Structure 1
Amino acid sequence: MGAAQGPVTSGEETAAVMRRVASRLLERVPELAGRLLAELRSTEDAYRRVPEHEHRRDLERGFRTGISAMLQPWSERRDLAVATETAAKRAEQGVPLDSLLRGYRLATQITWEAMVDVLMADHPGEATALLRGAERIWQGVDRQAVVAADSYRRRENELRSRNTERAQALLDALLEGRADTTVVRDAAAALEVPQFGRYLVVAIRPEPSRPKEADRPAEAGGLRLLWRARPDCDLVVVWLADRDPEEALRAVEPLLAGGAGVSPVAEGLPELCEARRHAMVALRTCRGAETVHLDDRLPAALAASQPDLAERLVEVVLRPILDLDPPERETLLITLTRWLDCDGSVARTAAALYCHRNTVFNRIRRIETLTGRSPDRPREVLELALALDAYRITGAG
């Protein structure tokens, strides 16, 4: 004879028992929610950001919809919509996803324990019904957790994008001089930098091969970097903290290929507008792919910041040279450039140009004859140097 077997519970009987258990659990929703509330708020600091009355209300709603959905067809379940809504809210409140999913695990544990208590008290001979219903319970909880995680990540991405756009708008306000005290305070919080820290602003020539703004590094060599792309140049604000400006620039320089102008140190966010203007002027004095400080190019910066006067200076000082045939014009301009770079040394200029000293001397005298500016008079040499800078910067001629 075979071993004795207990009564086999049919699917209909299982469903009937589970409906009765669910009805009893619905009566205990405030108790179940209270248990979960106490556990989460005592072990998860993140949940303390959620007002307690709101947290309790959401937990009761979650238990109620979850228990009611146990025996509903998948197409009629409202627990998934509730899970989606609650997860998005938690993302906005800054509750980590791990904490959210732990809440689902604890809720499942509390629900299961309560179901066992009800079944053993009211239907002691129907343990099979609980076992048969368990699979559906776990499937339901798993689906809730999946849609909750998906909703959380979507909202988190939306919030990150929104925060990024706001931070960029605040940075624009600082760089363009549209920031009052409130904007400065908000910008410091959004950009995660101090209001009165030390900053450099670097203006960089736009390069098609340079990564898009969103793909550029937020730090280099331990320095915080804030990027903004503009039609005429790219800008990067470097928070120096306690670093030496020259040391900081060496760490950032690998990102600056293509020519860059560097502002003097700005002592706080309110000074970024002036620093931006200085960096952009310094950039206009660049010769090729070099990085220059404004303070090292002040005479050229004067020409760059006053284009109308710069054009007039070119016209008055260099016009006789610019009217020459192109080969002779370029020869004299290159010779003048090298002579100024070599501090007026004919020998060093000749070495730089691979020509004889007498050739350089004759060209300098030719420049003197054409312009009326003598290389022996410092003031007139200064005019030649400024006019040459202005010619490069403005393209006048």
Structure 2
Amino acid sequence: MLTLAALIGNPALELRLLVPGPAGALDREALWVHNTELPDPSPYVRAGEIVLTNGLWQDETTASAFAANVRRAGAAGIVFGLRTETPATPEELIEACRREELPLAEISIEVPFTAVTEAASVIHTDQRRDALVGMVRRGDALAAAISHGAGASGVLAVLRREHDLPLAVVDRMARPLAAAGVELTPEQRRIVAEGLARHPPPLEVDLGGQEGRATVFLVGAVGDTDAALLCLRPVSGLKKAEQDALDQAARFLSLEVAKQQAIQAIELRFASELLDMILSGGHRAAEVPDRLRAFGVDPSGELVVLTIAFADGAESTLPGLSETVGEFFLAQSLAVVVAGGSQDVVAVLQRPRLDLSELAEALCSVVRKRFPERRPVVGLGDTAASAGELRQPLVQSREACQVLRRRRGAQAVASFRELGTHRLLLGLQDAGTLQGFADGVVGPIREHDGSRAGELEVTLRAFLSNDGHFGATAAALYVHVNTLRNRLAKITELTGRDVARTEDRVDLYLALEADDMSRSR
């Protein structure tokens, strides 16, 4: 590193220190050397440069003014070159540098300024070479850590061998992937995840507390920002070498994150295929035991199914829900298959020793902390004696979850049989029976809507949702009550069911429910 101390320590330059300046000034990194004889070089001298001068400015300004101008420019110090006309450094300049707390050295008559420039060039060359060698060695160590399966923790360990920095890796779902020298709270991880969701992501985040501001080094897998390498120091507190090392490590972390994403994608596909096998029955049912074994679940023992989703009208699951559910069961030391769908997440696992409802309540608590703005609900099915009997518990848990999603209230967990609704009876029917009943009632309505761009089905659903109140339904649909009556009359004509009669209204309601259930299976 180029410093005044390094130049003074070079015997070939014959430099003599006259004013050391404040503590640490001689070891301050210098940007370069700048030869000048201007009375006021401040417009041209860059901060951190070492000023080389022979004092030819003495005819135009005082030593005090010159030293003050150099100090104002932020120079690292002055090297005064002796010459025949000035065999000693002027006392006025020495005193001025003391007042300005500006390091001052003199160079003998025999040594030209070009020697100082050459020495600085050599130092810079060596520094760049060392940095390049260090980067290559660090790259080899990082590659070895990842190839040997050390993961994100191994990457941080390589960094910590060179730089004693507090480090953490957090993904966009606020999950901690690794940490060294620090442990982030869930709230701090959430702050990081929110930062990664911005466009563009910030270079720093404020973690609050003692940690304060942390520098963010983005980790991307396939185009997007998937995680962040955090150094719990602000950018201004990091040296250039530290920033370079962290940036290099972030690039290697991208490989690790991409690998983990590929593994998760394969696991998700295998899990989703398992649900298809269970629901399809027939010859594919024979594949279920092997697929369960692949996830560490014993297919010969009793099995349970939980389905979790968000209430509050959410039409789709949030990214990260499947991972949160999987991590929950992993923390409970339970082997599980977790499959995420468009509206729910299903977990198939061995029947646990803990009461299933208590386990589901604990799962809801964890999910609420991860997604504080949403309300999770969990549906439970009957216990399956073996893998061959999983179909009914799977359907039951999903139906129970759907009922909880539609209900208003604080209930978060319920089994299929506890609900005791019409869906209990519908859930016992096979998909063909359900769809046949639904098509027979709802089919004519949909054919009419499709051919005339009508809204009869929307009208019927709104009418039933508003408990048959004409005024409330018309207001919800933004139509006149007479328009509503005309639409309901058309529905009666097409289906043979009169919404004014209780048994016909029950048929219409059950047909819509059956249609929804058959589509979700």
Structure 1 length normalisation: TM-score? 0.38
Larger fraction in strand: 2
Structure 2 length normalisation: TM-score? 0.31
Larger fraction in helix: 1
Point out which structure has higher relative CO (alpha carbons under 8 A, 6+ apart): 1
